[in-house]
Amino acid sequence: MDKILEGLVSSSHPLPLKRVIVRRVVESAETPLSQAQCRAMFALSTRLVLQGPDPFQRQVGRQVLEAYGRYHRAEFEAFFNRGLVLGLLQRGYGELSNRDPAILDYIQAGLRLIMSCPSVLELFELLQVEALRLVCERPAPPLCARLCQLLGDFPQCLPRGRKLSLAFCQQLVRSIAHFQSQGSREAELRLYVSQVTQVSGLLRSVWKAEPDTLLPSLQELFAVISAADTSFEPSVALASLVQHIPLQMITVLIRSLTTDPNVKDASMTQALCRMIDWLSWPLAQHVETWVIALLKGLAAVQKFTILIDVTLLKIELVFNRLWFPLVRPGALAVLSHMLLSFQHSPEAFHLIVPHVVSLVHSFKRDGLPSSTAFLMQLTELIHCMMYHYSGFPELYEPILEAVKDMPKPTEEKIKLILSQSAWTSQSSSLPSCLSRLSGKSETGKTGLINLGNTCYMNSVIQALFMATDFRRHVLSLNLNGCNSLMRKLQHLFAFLAHTQREAYAPRIFFEASRPPWFTPRSQQDCSEYLRFLLDRLHEEERTLKALSSTKTSESIMNEESQKQEAVHKAQVFAEAPCMGSEERTLIEKMFGGKLKTTICCLNCKSMSQKEEAFTDLSLAFCPPTSLENVGPKCVERSEVKDDYVVQTNTSATSPAGETLLNNLEVNGGCDTIMNEGTIKDFSTEPNSENTTNSELNKVQDNRDMSQRLVGKNTLSVTDLLNYFLAPEILSGDNKYYCEKCASLQNAEKTMQIIEEPEYLILTLLRFSYDPKCHIRRKILDNVSLPLVLELPVKRATSSLAVVSGGWSVGVEISDIGENLAKKLKPSGADEVTCPQLVPYVLSSVVVHSGVSSESGHYYSYARNVTGSGPSGLCHQSTALSLVSPQDKLLTEESPCTVVENELDTEMPREWFLFNDSRVTFTSFQSVQKITSRFPKDTAYVLFYKKQNSTCGFNTNSANGLWVNGDPPLQKDLMDAITKDNKLYLQEQELSARTQALQAASASCSFRPNGFDDNDPPGSCGPTGGGGGGGFSTVGRLVF
């Protein structure tokens, strides 16, 4: 039986067949077997469990071991003896190390099977000794957690006797001090925290069962954290032990520590500093209670030197913990006590003063009841400190302005709090979107105030505003008397362009543009918001035009009134002179393109074509394994028959009334990969009547391209666009239903861009759905952003015109015009694909900072890119050439790569960083390096501007001179901006006079915040915007 099983699991039979046979082998465990047969089965199952090369074999080993061990218990007892267990713990099993957690898994499974056998007592005694030996060897968190799980399930294996039990607890404390997290991602941190919790839980059980071990364990803990050895820093995981110490022991322990003459000041300082560091541990309870008790104990014995040193060293760290929801209550309690007790000097308070305003503003914007409760406690503390350390108006005035709307405690209450040197009550943890504020930007650009997790809107609006041609079209529209969304966007753009305020609050536009399903004050997907916004603007303009047309047709007007109506209609949503169709909306003109999808049956060669409009292309991340397995492209499922009904050699154009905004996503981010055999089965059937050598060669070419993508260290936007446009073989379970063949056939699917947009929007599909955790996880892969991107556009032209030289090679087809192209095409002439590389220049980058779509922060990089662009940009790329589709895909060596550095160095301060209210200068190098410097900050939405475009506005238009190329504003908009600017100047003047009157009493200055280049731009708070509280915040804490 063992030989059969061994041959089966290692065979190449299908997995379902293997499972059926394994089930029968397990069921046959009830039949009598000889001792030799049982031993052979036990040996085989042990080998499969410990050395199985794949999960299936290890699972089979566990099933067989459990079944045969249960029905042949005596034989298994003889097999699972002291020698086997000791050998596993000391020498391992074959190539498997004795420190592998799988060894303990196997031993625990064996103990369950022989629990009722006498020999189990001998194994318990053995494990008592081996458990102590293991913890003395400082096991890693996975092994230590697995050992504690075994000891928790079988407490008979815990070391017995006071001496051994005490040694075990002390050594386990030392082991926890050596724990270090093996990664920084959320899943890795979750696992690490669970392992630490498993170990500390065992210690709690031992302390409860044997109380005599508690005090020596705590003494060992203090010895570890008070050590002055700089080469070893104890793990913050020791904080997990604090919650298991009975609070009734605080008084005794603190008195013992603070009065012990053997405890030196340096050791106490070191221990207290490390206990304060424990505030960052997410699941520890009562850490703040022990820290405050120790601070009070030191004050009681008048060890003020330690208190001063620790306060000045750690006050800023404690304040920074207020940004983290999980630890905010404890941090506020410790901060309150440290500040209120430090009454001899303002030094400690002034260390945190520069950071108070940003925290207060952030929680005021949040607006939640829990935010108000927290701000009330923080405001009360700040008022107490400013009352006690008066005489610094230049420091406190920004704070007073920030908290002016919050209740102010009475003077009697302030005096009572200060006299008691007490800390305020703890606040509730709360989610928030925390963004830093700064003075007026020297960039001349205006920021957008975060209205409460609205960074997703702010980043998109700034990117659209920096799309120069789009902004100019919006500002030039005549929308008087119209209350449309476009009118509100025009109002917002006008204030961003002309206000003198450092930041503008887009409340009206936010309420008008927020999708109905978006929850207010919660983080949202900026890409989803952008698509909704463009769709709303597009549909709104179409509706207005339709109403205007209907009104015209139904009313009887004379010739003069008809002319006036035409003039009025032309004024609303003015169109650029370069566009062909007057019925296109502004969104279609700026962001609309067309994509043609072609499916060719590889049997009958019939073709099905469909054209689709798009405003953005969603580029999927395909896992390297799927690229290697499926060749050209991974396929999620086949829905070909429904989408492509007409079999013809001409394109089936979408109806004119079809909604423009089709978000073209490929494979849903490749979360679901088709079976490995899909392409393999097709390519390994040379005798198939549906397969030719040319198709096989094409599949191999595509696989070679996929492998080139896999071999690269860092993906680029070029790679993702290559994958988007790569031909796709439909075979296997994804075969295409050909109506001409009346059967499922292998087919090739290709996608071609046949009309390019003025602004190309690319969305990187970074969020994939995790069905286990029911969240959208984020793909944190770095993607290189080319400054110059060449988009392959394959327009349909007349073959006769190309052959006869009717068009010169250097002429762009888009410049000829659609009508002229139709006239030049002779009747019945076949279409010839003429690929052309259209150059685009990077205009804006929206960055997401965080680890999931439900949390994080958005900010954007942008620059002004006009229609003409830098001179001499890729002039050779406009030439037409007839080559294969693969050859015209974006290549690794773009002919415009040489221009990138020149473009970025021409104007070194042309790039801006828009981070809510804050706008700063930056560089393209900062854009490229953002993910390498801050791994959670990744490019998400990209705006590229087409170069050599002729649809830009004429800056010397008939209605007046345009400032900086922008059109003059309408009177009502200019009046509103002028009124607001006057009010802002009055506010500034009043503030300046107040500061001048109070400047004489100022006696010192404070330290500035420092430069932003040292901090990640993404700062919807370290909690990541709408991430809120809960366990997900553990991914943003520092261990």
Active site residues: 455, 857
Tokens 């019939």, located at residue: 606
Are 476 and 574 in contact, with CB atoms under 8 Å apart? yes
Helix (H, G, I), strand (E, B) or coil at 129: helix
Tokens 């902004």, located at residue: 471
* Residue 793, beta-bridge partner list: 753, 836
Q: Are strands 617-620 and 664-665 parallel, antiparallel or unpaired?
A: parallel
* Residue 618, beta-bridge partner list: 665, 763
Q: What values do phi and psi take at 466, rounded to 5? A: -80, -5
163 Cβ neighbours under 8 A, 6+ residues apart: none
CA–CA dist 914, 233 (Å, integer): 39
CA–CA dist 764, 692 (Å, integer): 36
**3-class secondary structure per residue, 853-916:** CCCCEEEEEEECCCCCCCCCCCHHHHCCCCCCCCCCCCCCCCCCHHHHHHHHHHCCCCEEEEEC
Are 286 and 242 in contact, with CB atoms under 8 Å apart? yes
Helix (H, G, I), strand (E, B) or coil at 573: coil
Instruction: Tell me, rounded to whole angstroms, the distance of Cα 267 from its chain centroid.
Output: 42
Tokens 């050998």, located at residue: 87
Q: Are strands 743-745 and 911-915 parallel, antiparallel or unpaired?
A: unpaired
CA–CA dist 722, 480 (Å, integer): 45
812 Cβ neighbours under 8 A, 6+ residues apart: 836, 878, 948
Residue 96's CB: how many other CB atoms inside 10 A? 15
336 Cβ neighbours under 8 A, 6+ residues apart: 377, 381, 422, 423, 424
Tokens 């991914």, located at residue: 1035
Dihedral of alpha carbons 418, 422, 423, 426, sign: negative
DSSP annotation of 242: G
Burial 641-679 (b: 16+ CB within 10 A, else e): eeebeebeeebeeeeeeeebbbbbebbebbbebbeeebb
CA–CA dist 620, 569 (Å, integer): 41
Are 328 and 322 in contact, with CB atoms under 8 Å apart? yes
CA–CA dist 724, 727 (Å, integer): 9
What are the angstrom distances between the C-alpha of 686 and each of 632, 680, 683, 689, 692?
19, 12, 7, 8, 8
What six digits make up the tokens of 246?
Answer: 């009975």
Residue 10 carries which side chain, given as an amino acid letter? S
What six digits make up the tokens of 762?
Answer: 């690319």
Residue 306 carries which side chain, given as an amino acid letter? I
Are 25 and 71 in contact, with CB atoms under 8 Å apart? no
Are 863 and 910 in contact, with CB atoms under 8 Å apart? yes
What six digits make up the tokens of 807?
Answer: 């068009």
CA–CA dist 90, 134 (Å, integer): 10
Strand residues in 441-557 grouped as ranges (E): 447-448, 503-504
CA–CA dist 1016, 496 (Å, integer): 25
Nearest CA-CA partner of 100 in 90, 109, 114, 110: 90
